[in-house]
Structure 1
Amino acid sequence: MNITIASPRSKKTICEVTVDPSSTVADLKKKFAQQKKVGVERQRFSFEHPTKGMVVLSNDKETLSNYGVTTNTTVLFKDLGMQISWTLVFLAEYAGPLFVYPIFYFFSRQIYGFETPKTFVQDVALICYSLHYIKRILETIFVHRFSKATMPITNLFKNCIYYWGCTSMVSYFVNHPLYTPPAALNQYIGFGLWAFGEIMNLVCHIQLRNLRPAGSNVRKIPRGLLFEFVSCPNYTVEILAWLGFSIMTQTLTSYLFTLLGAGQMYIWACGKHRNYKKEFTGKDGSPLYPKNRKIIIPFLL
């Protein structure tokens, strides 16, 4: 069958590609790469489905016919730009805080001009902050399975600026020689919330990993534990962990970092929740995704 490939903005035809009805999205990308010399990792295709609206051809192993692409379909092409490995981006953005945060802890005299003995909370905060990003790095290497191998290289700079910059902001005030620890109760409550959030975040990531066999793009409805209440509990408990860190350290910049992260994770969670509801539907269009499951806050939001 002949498929017309067009620009998403002007709808101007770029080229026509001939494929078999049983061809996959990967086959389409290879054909397009041969004609237009655009690497397959930079290609993103979508089309207007008669009933589902705009559909992105996100699974390279799925057949075009299963997506609903026919010989009369106009497929829209978007160039994703220069790409970089998801794993490399994650490792770079998470490694930075492991080096940045300790600078303010160990070099107080050079940074602030004087130093005082570190408090117990400052010692624990260093350990908690470091363990969080060590966990992130280990999860990137051993736990996470990415549906896409690459992302735009611009994300590397944006992500590193965010994580490294926020770490400097938090560490500067937590490790300041004039820092005053909060009450002991705040320290215990904050540390407890942090520990619970970190452990449950790891549990959620392992649950997500087990949904997708290695080397596949299989997607299933997440089940079990916190997934029965919200679509993205990994975000829920990560926000809880940073809230705990903020309560434990009681600094404005820690709360600000928590708020920034929560806002971004809420946006991601809304997108994932929307995609789950859109993707998991029966052949008759009936919803298969649990209708009472919230986005990120159990029973509320």
Structure 2
Amino acid sequence: MEKDTITLRLQPRGKPLANLPAELPISANASTEELYKAVARLTKSPTTRLRITKSDSSYLRPSRETTITASNIYDESQLFIKDLGVQIDWQTVFLIEYFGPLAIHPLFLFLRNQIYSVYFPMFQWSPQPRTTPITNTQYILCAMVVLHFIKRELETLFVHRFSAATMPVSSLIRNSAYYWTEGGLFLAYFLYLPTKAETPDYLLYPGLAIWIFAQLSNAKTHLTLRDLRRPGSADRGIPVGYGFSLVTCPNYMFEVLGWFAVAMISGWNLSAIIFWLSGLYIQHKWAGQKERRYRKEFGDRYKKKRAVIIPYLL
């Protein structure tokens, strides 16, 4: 055995892993990505289906640049191998998530006579007749939602680079539920109820201006984030530039601003307000997690921020 070869102790976490040996000889200079590939070969599993944790339960991330010894793993170290189950790539996950509202909103708008009278007659409490023509405001709202999710689909295909390649397919329904139910069925049902009301110009035009600004700004920050990560790499740099001097996640800030504009143009429809506020809550939580990760990952090189999603407030 070569001097630089160490022996790792392997143990399954959760259900047993077929063909997983108790010991794995490997070069101490091997990368953590090579470790994943070695375990994958032995267990005949895709690397994306495996999760390796150290004895202190910390996650060992696969990386071409990080060696095993740099991860504080030495001869006789204990590692735990978990089978994550059947996986689906994140790009497909996002495409499925965004397809929900992208399809549901036009269906509710253009088939609303059938939907409200046949499928939801007991919930029809609008004072207007069910055959009221579609208003200009409703056309605009539907266009805004559809264009927003078309943008997201295109960014998923051509802009985003994912730090994790896959997720368990069992989590797909949970991940899609928010967009298909709250952003799809719930929001669409109340936005396109038969009505004769039109949003006044003092809300419509400022709302459209805010929405266009938010969409363009959100796209710009996504391009900035893409350029921080090399293709095929999970490593990233410190985000700087447009919006990043104000908050940790300006992409979330502009996302929330865009849905504020939708709520504004809807005439402060309760469903639009709820969707906007729920998005603010969720993305504020994500932004806080990113701020903590940046501080840990980059240390003193990172300029800490108190506001993560709304300047000077949250």
What is the rounded CA distance, in whole Å, between the counterparts of 1:216 and 1:158 in structure 2? 27
Deviation at 1:38, TM superposition (A): 3.7
Structure 1 residue ranges, 4+ long, deviating more than 4 angstroms after superposition: none
Hey, what does 2:205 align to over in structure 1?
A: 188
Q: Kindly indicate whether the alpha-carbon contact (under 8 Å) linking 1:229 and 1:293 is maintained by their aligned counterparts in 2.
A: no
Aligned length: 290
Distance 1:16 1:157, change over 3 A: same
Query: Cα deviations across residues 54-101 of structure 1 (Å, max 9, x unaligned)?
Result: 642223312212222222433333332210011111111112222111
Query: Cα deviations across residues 222-268 of structure 1 (Å, max 9, x unaligned)?
Result: 01121122221111110111111011102111111112222221222
1:231 maps to 2:231 = no
Aligned residue for 1:31, secondary structure, equals helix
The aligned amino acid for 1:296 is I
1:259 maps to 2:272 = no
Q: Kindly indicate whether the alpha-carbon contact (under 8 Å) linking 1:46 and 1:76 is maintained by their aligned counterparts in 2.
A: yes
Q: Kindly indicate whether the alpha-carbon contact (under 8 Å) linking 2:95 and 2:153 is maintained by their aligned counterparts in 1.
A: yes
Hey, what does 2:169 align to over in structure 1?
A: 153
Aligned residue for 1:219, secondary structure, equals coil
Aligned residue for 1:240, secondary structure, equals helix
Distance 1:29 1:59, change over 3 A: closer
Hey, what does 1:17 align to over in structure 2?
A: 24
Alignment map for 1:97-136 (pairs within 5 Å): 97-113=101-117, 114-136=130-152
Structure exhibiting the larger radius of gyration computed from Cα positions: 2
Hey, what does 1:289 align to over in structure 2?
A: 302
* Aligned residues: CA RMSD: 2.2
Deviation at 1:48, TM superposition (A): 5.8
Q: Kindly indicate whether the alpha-carbon contact (under 8 Å) linking 2:137 and 2:198 is maintained by their aligned counterparts in 1.
A: yes
Q: Kindly indicate whether the alpha-carbon contact (under 8 Å) linking 1:228 and 1:293 is maintained by their aligned counterparts in 2.
A: no
Query: Cα deviations across residues 116-147 of structure 1 (Å, max 9, x unaligned)?
Result: 12222111101100000100010011101112
Hey, what does 2:124 align to over in structure 1?
A: none
Q: Kindly indicate whether the alpha-carbon contact (under 8 Å) linking 2:132 and 2:196 is maintained by their aligned counterparts in 1.
A: no
Deviation at 1:170, TM superposition (A): 0.9
Q: Kindly indicate whether the alpha-carbon contact (under 8 Å) linking 2:238 and 2:298 is maintained by their aligned counterparts in 1.
A: yes
What is the rounded CA distance, in whole Å, between the counterparts of 2:274 and 2:208 in structure 1? 18
Hey, what does 1:284 align to over in structure 2?
A: none
1:275 aligned to which of 279, 286, 293: 293
Hey, what does 2:235 align to over in structure 1?
A: 218
What is the rounded CA distance, in whole Å, between the counterparts of 2:243 and 2:312 in structure 1? 12
Aligned residue for 1:117, secondary structure, equals coil
Q: Kindly indicate whether the alpha-carbon contact (under 8 Å) linking 2:36 and 2:62 is maintained by their aligned counterparts in 1.
A: no
Give me the identity figure in percent. Answer: 36
The aligned amino acid for 1:235 is Y
Hey, what does 2:122 align to over in structure 1?
A: none
Query: Structure 1 length as normaliser, TM-score?
Result: 0.88
Hey, what does 2:63 align to over in structure 1?
A: 60
Query: Structure 2 length as normaliser, TM-score?
Result: 0.85
Q: Kindly indicate whether the alpha-carbon contact (under 8 Å) linking 1:198 and 1:238 is maintained by their aligned counterparts in 2.
A: yes
The aligned amino acid for 2:149 is Y
The aligned amino acid for 1:178 is T
1:96 maps to 2:100 = yes
Deviation at 1:293, TM superposition (A): 5.4
Aligned residue for 1:220, secondary structure, equals coil
